[in-house]
Amino acid sequence: SAKAIIAKLGNKVVAAEYKLDGERLQIHKRKEGVTLFSRRLEVITHNYPDVLELVAKNVASGEAILEAEVVAINEDTGEYLPFQELMHRRRKYGVAEAMKQYPVALNFFDLLSADRKDYTNFPYGERRAKLESVVKETERTRPVPALRTADPEEIEKFMEDAIANGCEGLVVKDLDGVYRAGAREFSWVKLKREYRSELTDTIDLVIVGAFHGRGRRAGTYGTYLLAAYDDKKANFPSVSKIGTGFTDEDLQKFPRLLKKYESRVKPPSVESNLVPDVWFRPHLVIETIASEITLSPIHPAGMGRIRKESGLALRFPKFTGKIRDDKKPEDATTVDEIVEMYNLQLKKVERVAQ
């Protein structure tokens, strides 16, 4: 638990950072070029030619050794993708094609040296400060999101935020710890969920908002805001954003289908902490699948039902391609059903553990 980890690290302020579902890289930037090493210090530069360009453009130091997590992304939506998608990049042939199909982003989490100065004996807090000063934050590069606190509840909420953003959990770090090659020992401690399971049921949700696209989706909607139906409150609390599973035809068709339901302000029946670029009155129901249902500090569906100040959200949601024309918005999956599905996940994991 977060409380146990803080106690283990001395009951003091720690750094809690996103633990991403990607591949760990050690990056050596020199005047003659950039070399990438795997966790086992294998040279894997040829797998990530786009990473070389990202480092050259966005790491300010002329010479540096840094560590980062490389993660597959949906270039059109900015969403992080599961680790299995990234593994398509680990190939000997067809690298250029894989680079186009599976673009990546870099989340930097440590700095060993910069401009020929060794930082390995500096405390982590100072290494992180230097890291932030040399890594330019862009859509594809950034220091990994971090929180400094001694409050276990703040860490638990930050973990929910991390999971909602496609991460595995958190890594909690001692700000006084020095770098130890290949060993995190007690100064870095992973904090993960107590369960993880596959969700097999489809979920019918209502589109209540949209966000403008970028990349290939510039000029149309890139992601949609989805809501379940709360039959007790007679409203539609948000439960997910979704941008995966849409064909080019879908991307052209959906704005036309939704046009008549556009609203300049948030519809009174919609509950959401996110503010999309365009609101829609609840009408269009679509079928989705997801890897699982997680706790969320962002989405209000099921708020407080499982944990205080936490709602529920879909992890890695995907449109199945099916529009539920046969369903009114009030026929969408209900909040009670989503809570029940979440609890069933826990029971499945308990059975597997036994």
Q: Which amino acid is at 213?
A: G
Q: How many residues are there in the chain?
A: 354
Supply the pLDDT for residue 185.
47
- 346 closest CA partner among 288, 284, 294, 277: 294
Q: Active site residue: 3, 8, 12, 19, which one? A: 19
Q: Evaluate whether 206 touches 329 at the Cβ level (below 8 Å).
A: yes
Express each pLDDT in 6-27 by its tens digit.
Answer: 888 889 999 999 999 889 999 9
Q: What is the pLDDT of residues 314-337, one digit of tens each?
A: 988 999 999 998 899 999 999 999
Q: Name every residue whose Cβ is closer than 8 Å to that of residue 317 and which is 6 or more positions away in sequence.
A: 226, 240, 241, 242, 244, 288, 289, 290
Q: What is the pLDDT of residue 347?
A: 59
Q: What is the DSSP string of 248-292?
A: HHHHHHHHHHHGGGEESS--TTEE-SS--SEEE-S--EEEEE-SE
Non-local CB neighbours of 219 within 8 Å, separated by 6+ positions: 213
Instruction: Specify the pLDDT at position 346.
Output: 64
SS3 161: helix
Q: What domains can you pick out in the chain, each with its CATH number?
A: 2-192 (3.30.470.30), 203-353 (2.40.50.140)
CA-nearest of 198, 162, 207, 223 to 293 is: 198
**Catalytic site includes residue 266:** no
Which parts of the chain have pLDDT scores under 70? 182-186, 193-200, 346-354
pLDDT at 184: 47
pTM exceeding the 0.75 threshold for the entire prediction: no
